[in-house]
Amino acid sequence: MDVVEFTEYLVKGIVKEPELVKVSMFQADEDVTILEILVPEDDMGRVIGKNGKTSTSIRTLIQAFAAINKMPKVKINIDSF
């Protein structure tokens, strides 16, 4: 399982419409990877959570997964469509 599949697994478990979740990975620099998570507007509140606690937890889990798999630094962007 790579970081994109792991991220999809995490986010799809939270949202109402998991088939609409999209996760893309981009290489910004040699040592920075950007993950972009796109969710429907209606599910944005579920992904962010109260005071951003859910999104902080998602970021922590993804960064831990990346560290375990010896990936470079990962930045996570969460957006809606």
Q: Over its length of 81 residues, how does the chain's per-residue pLDDT go in tens digits?
A: 899 999 999 999 999 999 999 999 999 888 899 999 999 999 999 999 999 999 999 999 999 999 999 988 999 999 999
Looking at residue 68, what is its pLDDT? 96
Helix (H) or strand (E) holding 14, with range, is none
- Closest-CA residue to 35 (of 57, 12, 70, 66): 66
Map out the domains of the chain as residue ranges.
Answer: 3-80
For the domain with range 3-80, which CATH number is right: 3.30.930.10, 3.20.20.140, 3.40.50.1010, 3.30.300.20?
3.30.300.20
- Closest-CA residue to 55 (of 79, 20, 25, 33): 79
Residue identified by tokens 């939270």 is 14
The structure's pTM equals 0.90
